[in-house]
Amino acid sequence: MGLVAGFGYFLIALGPALTIFGSSVAPKPFLILTVLASALVWLASLNIAAIVWRAFLPGPSWVFLLILTTSVALQEAFRLLYWHLYLKIEKYLNVLATKLSKPQCNYLDRLEIALASGVGHGLAHAVFFGLSIIAPAFGPATYYTSSCKQMPLFLVSALSSLAFFLLHTFSMVIAFNAYTYDNISQKLFVPIMHLGAALLTLVNLLPNGCTAGVPLVFLCTALTMAYGGKIVWHNLVPVLNTPC
């Protein structure tokens, strides 16, 4: 397809991620470290899942259901572990701020950290699952799978990477709020949307399934973004209305 198509797929997959990173994360070194830490936690959960299931592959189609379910469960468990590690770091930062007569972490600070943490998860997913497939798109040809002859594999991968980047980013924002205020519905929403989106990728394996699978994954992403935006707005209005 050439450089034009390759860069097009690349920008679809990682354009929003690079924009968010450049505008909201890069100006603050601590948030860059947060992105790296979050990405490493996500990769650790994926490595454990790979070690567990390596002995069972290749296998029957139903094995993919178990692989996706256990992978999502591990990622959600590591998300909770990441949250507890963050609490310890925040406690240390607040103690340090008190000693230096600086303000402690407020809601906006926690929101930035949650966003950066989500970007870390999302970027790791996009690079690991997206770029590895999109890289050959810079060559002279394209590729279609037998189950999806309407869309190039590179486009399906780019769109899926974008959907899961946004899903992971906003899921982390929701999760931070859920853990902070012990909100049961929000705690359930994150893994349910994550698992739903993961299982919907299996639709792509059906004949012409990509024409339905990709939009359905984006539906999960849109619901997560809308719910996350609602939560942030609900918490942000009192903060903005507080007099300085």
Instruction: Name the percent of the chain in helix, strand, coil, to the closest 5.
Output: 85, 0, 15
Task: State the DSSP H helix or E strand holding residue 217, giving kind and residue range, or none if neither.
Answer: helix 210-241
Minimum mean pLDDT range among 105-114, 127-136, 178-187, 211-220: 127-136
What is the per-residue pLDDT for 139? 72
Domain ranges of the chain: 2-238
pLDDT tens profile 181-191: 999 999 999 99
Residue 241 has pLDDT above 80, yes or no: no
**Rounded mean pLDDT, 208-213:** 86
Residue 13 has pLDDT above 70, yes or no: yes
Angle subtended at Cα 39 by Cα 34 and Cα 41, rounded to the nearest 5 degrees: 95
Q: How many helices (H) and strands (E) does the chain have?
A: 8, 0
Q: How confident is the model at residue 239 (pLDDT cuts 50, 70, 90)?
A: low
Q: How confident is the model at residue 36 (pLDDT cuts 50, 70, 90)?
A: very high
Task: State the DSSP H helix or E strand holding residue 36, giving kind and residue range, or none if neither.
Answer: helix 29-53
Q: How far from 138 is each of 4, 5, 152, 159, CA to CA, in Å?
A: 8, 7, 13, 17
